[in-house]
Amino acid sequence: MKVTVFGCGYVGLVSGACLAEVGNDVLCVDTDARKVELLKQGKTPIHEPGLEDLLLGNTRAGRLNFTADMASAVRHGALQFIAVGTPPDEDGAADLQYVLAVARAIGEHMSDYQVVVNKSTVPVGTADKVRATLAEALKKRGVALDYSVVSNPEFLKEGAAIDDFMKPDRIVIGSSDARAIEMMRALYAPFNRSHERVLVMDARSAELTKYDANAMLATKISFMNELANIAERVGADIEQVRIGIGSDPRIGYHFIYPGCGYGGSCFPKDVQALARAAEQNHYRPELLHAVQSVNHKQKEVLFDKIHAHFNGKLKGKTIALWGLAFKPNTDDMREAPSRVLMEKLWAHGARVQAHDPVAMSEARRLYGERSDLALCEEPYEALRNADALALVTEWKVFRSPDFSQIKKLLKQPAVFDGRNLYDPDMLKREGILHYGIGRGNHNI
């Protein structure tokens, strides 16, 4: 099938590459000409395991191409995917200007029946706005053409997006148009062979499904962090509690890991946008506001522990930091807990020596060269002459470190474990102070 994908960001690139991988003729569009040239060479501007190989292989095979020409892009595909950004407005609502700009361009250049697919994460009612924008553009041209608008939200986890697309849990198609649904079923047939994964519903329900899924996951994280903070104060170990409650099949073990808060491009933005949408419809979403509030506070927990350990005297101290990305297997630092920790340490006169397996370039882009930040190429280099270690991102490389080296390289053997990776009793035997999250019967 001929497919056009507008937007060469995270969702657009993964979707385009995976659709090309199963044999479709895919043209990806971006207004950034420099990015387009980079992609034509098979290089990706983002870090996602397996993506660069897919881009290179399908580009060489001729199934995946890139352009900045909107007109040729509209002419290419019977299916027109919109996968552009929807950043938050000042009031927290999703900004649809890029989505509607693409819809307008499609309406200005289309010449036959096409299915316009909203792949971007958008508020309820966006399909109606896209439909109206297309109608307006066609009316200005004095042209009458049939078209369909479908909501097809993505459910991709950064760091595992290729597997998520190729082996999806569900494929949500929001439409009441039989012709469009048939085309979408055909497109997704290669990803739907072992059992039925396609869920057909109305567009508004599909749009809300995406927001609600992310809000539910964010809620689980914040709720677990709330329980961890209680456990710490009553002298219980949240890791033991986690196993105790996770054994109940109604609860399960997924997404009940306490830590130093969630970040990234999805959960913070989508929870905020869903809350704003509720308020625009005259409903105050108390729980969603609580989820955000708990998360904002949780991102400060590691700093609070460090501040207390040093009796508030952080000026001149050096803190080693392991993990900059908001989660493993990505270089994304948007809303990352590491940023909150570093910025608060700097505000109190401390210096940071940080290491991350892939997010170092992103950190340089965000913060530039500064005297209170050293980006270290090796994990143990970050420890040298540091006063303490803060573990922020649970990369696999950090899971089984050499604790004797940690003790030797740190001025003070103290580890602030923001992801509860380490056994407090083991560190105690090694002579290292351990500060975890919600480990009230272990914490110093």
Provide the residue type at 391 as one letter: L
CA distances from 119 to 22, 38, 250, 308 (A): 19, 23, 31, 46
List 8, 28, 266, 376, catalytic entry: 266
CA distances from 176 to 126, 334, 371 (A): 15, 36, 58
Structure tokens at 236: 């219980």
Structure tokens at 23: 């044999």
Q: Beta strands 433-435 and 373-375: pairing type?
A: unpaired
Q: Is-catalytic flag, 266? A: yes
Residue 181: CB atoms within 10 Å: 18
The C-alpha atoms of residue 423 and residue 403 are separated, in whole angstroms, by: 11
Residues carrying an active site annotation:
266
